[in-house]
A and B are shown apart, each in its own frame.
Chain A
Amino acid sequence: MSNEKTSAFSRTAVLHLLKNNGIYIGFFLIFLLFSFSSPYFFDVNNIKNIVVQSSIIAVIAIGLTLVILTGGIELSVGSVVALTSMISAVLISQFCLPVWVSVLLGILVGGLCGLINGIIISYGKVPAFIATLGMMSFARGLALFSTGGKPIAQLPLTYEAIASSKVLGIPVFIIYCIITYSLAWLYLKRTRGGRYIYAIGGNRDSARLSGINVKFHETMAYVICGFTAGIGGILLTARLNYATPTAGNGFEMDAIAAAVIGGTSLAGGQGNILMTFLGAILIGMLKNGLTLMNVSSYLQQMIIGIVIVLAVFLDKQKQQ
């Protein structure tokens, strides 16, 4: 009798563990799978590769996580990536501005796009889906318009250095991730604005009636999202040393996927920014590992689709 009880207990304990740590276990299993099936996967260099390859999406996903935490959505990040990329490149190649000025102005344009989104959504009461869908088309159009659709290549080496530098042998992209995620974590955990973002997503009416300036703080989330998309655009341009108005296509979906795999609830109010990083790395790891295993790119897309849904499914199990 007592034996039965303990075994039942341990079974529920295991289930509990599985439910509550789905993403870690999934991450771990995938890592293990790749390590054994491809001799090239488990290698310091390759792990650096994975982080570098995922880091642009990871940075963009910061802003998206914030927006999703407020209960909103942001579809224009991919287009904003292209826009900031083009703006910075045009400022360098046609207006001969110094690289750092162009890069900062590019990021600022990203923030401006976010500000416009935020104002339209919070103060204009246009649903986030619609407002950012509009921005998605507008920013892409503006990016194409800026050079008549032509890409700009061969940017100054100082621009490329933004991506290719290393600090103490660590690729600088990894350091950007550490910095941006630390700042985002600090913002969400240790500032009023961050706590308010959770509150707004948790219950908008309660937030307003608790004396929170909902419109302002919601707009802030979109502004930050614009900035991270802008940074993403700069990083992408630097990595390729090439700016193209068609860049960033579909990034919004990867960034949303990263946030969602990391357990951020699309209903708002629930989520952990550090888990978003894990989500972004998981997607990057899948793409990398599957390529190393020479899995067809068709199949890769299917697998990533399954993983997204599975991650949310496991997360829902946890909540029950």
Chain B
Amino acid sequence: MKKMMILVGILLLIAPLALFAQGQKEEEAVTIGFIPMTMNNEYFITMVNAAEKEAAQSGTKLIVQAGDSHSSADAQLTIIENMIQRQVSAICIVPSSSSSLMVALRKAEEAGIPVINIDTMIDPDMVASSGLNPVPFIGTDNYDGAVKGGKYALETYDLAGKEVAVLTGISGQQNAADRRNGFVDGAKGIDIVAEQTANWEVEQGYSVFQNILQANPNISFVACGNDNMALGAARAVKEESKEGQIHVLGFDAISSALDAVEEGTLCGTVAQFPAEMGILGVQAALDLIDGKSIDLVTYTKTEVITKDNVAEFKDYLKQFE
């Protein structure tokens, strides 16, 4: 106890010292906070790299922070609080879930800091019913992209009536649902024999699909909510020596998936353009800071990448490495 008191005493003593440091607070450059869902995924790294490139061009300072897991709403709230404290001019965020950030949005609104929602859409109804200002969104129309993927699969592999499995992302996330529904709607007439979540992860894609294969040996196609799960599933296919019999479709077009498309282990992947999201996010933030108005929803494009166009797409990506 006594030591605690001494500690508190010392802290009080250094208070004036630390106040000197406060003088440096005025910074010339505009600062934007950028919060990807995680940083252990090259999709977000591409996004961040593009955003940094864009920020550098306009002389803006970009602060990037991420929680250590996909689903950490708590960590994102903490990061936002700290960025508000840091007095950033705007925040771009990929939320961990479509409904988890209402408290954080309110805090930002109260501090007068505009928020731009990237990639995973924050539920607009919930924003409205929480009495908050609408949050502009920049991201993929996941449903539309997945419809493209579904149509491609149906036509190329003649899937009507065949057994198909679906690996979905974390339950409860809107993009996980959109991708699943888009694929199913795009590939009308298929027979879905298994549908499981693999929580966006490679390992889980691998083990979950292994189990599905055990139960359903006649599967001829597996559609995955992202490339990580697709790469995991492809490994399971390879171990069962069913390459060529079972085709795997991914989503996101991360580089290892593109390699896999080149090799043929994946039959294709629906490309999103995270780099564009990053660029448009920074631009939108700067526009808002300047007092300009922006569209409430901006969709970035999607494209099915197959063996035919993979080389071209890789060239495009090189600039954001």
Interface residue ranges, A against B (CB under 8 Å) = 21, 24, 27-28, 31-32, 35-43, 45-46, 49, 52-53, 56, 148-151, 153-154, 160, 164, 236, 239-242, 244, 246-247, 249-250, 274, 278, 287-288, 291-292, 294, 296-298, 301
Contacts and interface: CB of A to CB of B under 8 A. Distances in A.
A164 B39 CA distance: 30
Contacts of B67: 297
Nearest to A236: B74
A53 B72 CA distance: 14
13 contacts: A24-B6, A28-B10, A41-B18, A46-B85, A149-B170, A149-B171, A240-B77, A241-B102, A242-B101, A288-B78, A291-B79, A292-B85, A301-B68
Interface residues of B, number: 52
A239 B74 contact: yes
A275 to B, nearest CB: 9
B68 A297 contact: yes
Contacts of B24: 39
Interface string B142-171: 000000000000000000000000000011
A144 B277 CA distance: 32
Contacts, number: 129
Given A46-B85, A241-B102, 16 more contacts: A31-B11, A35-B17, A37-B21, A149-B171, A151-B99, A240-B103, A242-B73, A242-B99, A244-B73, A278-B4, A287-B78, A291-B78, A291-B79, A294-B64, A294-B65, A298-B39
B195 to A, nearest CB: 13
B87 A150 contact: no
B100 A240 contact: yes
A42 B22 contact: yes
Given A40-B87, A298-B39, A150 B71 contact: no
Contacts of B197: 149
A38 B31 CA distance: 15
Nearest to A249: B69
B69 A43 contact: no
Interface string B2-43: 011011001100110111011111000000000000010000
| Contact residues of B: prevailing secondary structure | helix
A272 B25 CA distance: 38
A183 B73 CA distance: 29
Contacts of B126: 153-154
B85 A45 contact: yes
A56 B81 CA distance: 15
A42 B21 contact: yes
A292 B82 contact: yes
A53 B250 CA distance: 38
A242 B96 CA distance: 12
A294 B61 CA distance: 11
B194 interface: no
Nearest to B10: A28
Given A24-B3, A288-B82, A39 B11 contact: no
A308 B130 CA distance: 40
B74 A247 contact: yes
Contacts of B291: none
A1 to B, nearest CB: 35
B86 A40 contact: yes
A269 to B, nearest CB: 20
B66 interface: yes
Interface in B255-290: none
Contacts of A151: 97, 99-100, 172
A240 B11 CA distance: 31
B34 to A, nearest CB: 11
A288 B82 CA distance: 7
Contact of B7 (A27, A42, A49, A291): A27
B321 to A, nearest CB: 18
A240 B74 contact: yes
A294 to B, nearest CB: 5
B100 A153 contact: yes
Given A148-B171, A239-B77, A32 B82 contact: no
A247 B22 CA distance: 36
B63 interface: yes
Contacts of B293: none
A179 to B, nearest CB: 17
Nearest to B76: A240
